[in-house]
Amino acid sequence: MAAIHSGQYHETMNLGFPEMAFLFVLALLIFGPKKLPEIGRQIGRALNEFKRASNEFKSQIESEINQLDLENQRQTILPPASPLPESIASASPTEPAREPELSPAAKAPDA
């Protein structure tokens, strides 16, 4: 069975010498020999400006990433705090854990 194409161009665009020559002649006919060098310079300037802006953007992103890496390296993990002496966790295994003492007024009467 034959594959049916929808008319879309799926291959990569590859311009050879004949295509480039045709585009140059077409541009020469449309713009004329006096305007063509000026248009070429304008296109060159635009491409140069785009390249400069993309390099600037790339360097800005890289500097931000480097700054974030430095901030992450500066952060240190603090050691755990020492337990309070009154806590149950600090009681030694040989000593029984002490219950907190209540004042006589706080104790409920045995009935």
Per the domain annotation, does 7 fall within a domain?
no
Long-range CB pairs of 17-24 (<8 Å, 24+ gap) are none
Total domains in the chain come to 1
Q: Is 20 left (phi over 0), alpha (psi -120 to 50) or beta?
A: alpha
User: pTM for the whole thing?
Assistant: 0.43
Per the domain annotation, does 105 fall within a domain?
no
Contact 27, 36 (CB under 8 A): yes
Question: pLDDT tens for residues 46-57?
Answer: 999 999 999 999
**Residue numbers of the domain that contains 41:** 33-72
Mean of the pLDDT values across residues 15-33? 89
Lowest mean pLDDT among 21-35, 38-52, 93-107: 93-107
Question: 97: Cβ–Cβ under 8 A, 6 or more apart, which residues?
Answer: 88, 91
Contact 28, 36 (CB under 8 A): yes
Per the domain annotation, does 44 fall within a domain?
yes
